[in-house]
Amino acid sequence: MSADVLAVAEHRQGDLRDVSREVVTAGAELAGETGGDLHVAVVGGDVETFADALNLEGVDTVHTVAYGEEFNHDVYTQAITQLADALEPAYLVMPNSVNGLDYAPAVATRLDIPLVTDAVGLATEGDTLVGTREMYGGKVETTTEVDADKVAVTIRGAEWEPTEAAGEAVVEAFEADIDEDAIGSSVTGFEEVAGGDVDISEADLLVSIGRGIEEEENLDLIRELVEALDATLSSSRPIVDAGWLPANRQVGQSGKVVTPDVYIAIGISGAVQHVAGMKGSDTIVAINTDPNAPIMDIADYAIHDDLFDVVPALIEQFS
């Protein structure tokens, strides 16, 4: 039985994304357990340069598919399915990125194999794949087992260390037979959002507010705190979605990455997409009524209390 692993790299606007080195690590771990080979695929863009960068420790072969410049899910789905048909890997490892979400489920469906998404841990027990996932917004961690010859998984970003060490991989060009009639989508451009007057990524002290604030009027209380502390105001996504703050204040995966000296998360649960933007903060303080909120896993200091009691008391301390 072949127990090879195929990992799929990701790039955007000419740059290999960090998660590419992370899928290599996750793939190498699986291949280490099964004793199979690790194949890495890169589709589109400057595949030669990407292949050089993907020649990393643990990689046996880098397969380049020279077709198109940027990500197109129809091309990816066709190319990866064809490569998987040719290589017959037991495990297909893809990133749980926005683009991963746009092709991995289609690939799994086309190959008719089970899909485990957003894994934070992967292991094998004999022929069984054991994935660790989270449910209920990170409140619980689950073990999911899949008994199948072939399984597709997507891995959460920043959970595996990116492989940095160079390897001795063979680079092979894969001639994918892309059916152009089956391409029903075309990327016409990119747009940057979240510009504006304030750059929260420059701030030393961020007071960040989440859905715990409940009503727009209650933001006044937070603004008072921000003023008293001479801090900068940021937020989780729901506050921006509701139109209470502009997009340039959003911290997270689809917002800004921030690295202040102190990040005070008030009424923020700590969903993975939020944490992606603020985990690099020097000191993290969480004010939350829920002692089990996922933000507590990364907080250095915590107050398990109602923000409507704590924030006024804190303002008092500075006035």
Q: Nearest-CA neighbor of 138 among 3, 273, 2? A: 273
Determine the residue with CB nearest ligand FAD.
252
Q: Which residues contact 3 (CB under 8 A, 6 or more apart)?
A: 31, 34, 35, 36, 90, 91
* Cβ distance to another protein smaller for residue 35 or 190: 190
Q: Is residue 84 helix, strand or coil?
A: helix
Note whether 82 binds ligand FAD by CB under 6 A: no
Note whether 99 binds ligand FAD by CB under 6 A: no
Q: Which of 273, 279, 298, 302 contacts ligand FAD by CB under 6 A?
A: 273
Residues in region 26-45 near another protein by CB under 8 A: none
Question: Distance (Å, rounded) from C-alpha 50 to C-alpha 9?
Answer: 9
Q: Is residue 61 helix, strand or coil?
A: strand
Report the half-sphere exposure of 269 (CA within 13 A, side-chain side): 11
Q: Nearest-CA neighbor of 239 among 205, 274, 263, 286? A: 274
151 forms beta bridges with: 91
* Cβ distance to another protein smaller for residue 30 or 231: 231
* Cβ distance to ligand FAD smaller for residue 122 or 287: 287
Note whether 274 binds ligand FAD by CB under 6 A: yes
Q: Residue 259 Cβ, how far from another protein at the closest point, in Å?
A: 13
Q: Which of 86, 123, 135, 198 contacts another protein by CB under 8 A?
A: 135
Binding site for ligand FAD (CB under 6 A): 98, 137, 210-212, 236-238, 250-255, 267-269, 271, 273-274, 277, 287-290, 293, 306-308
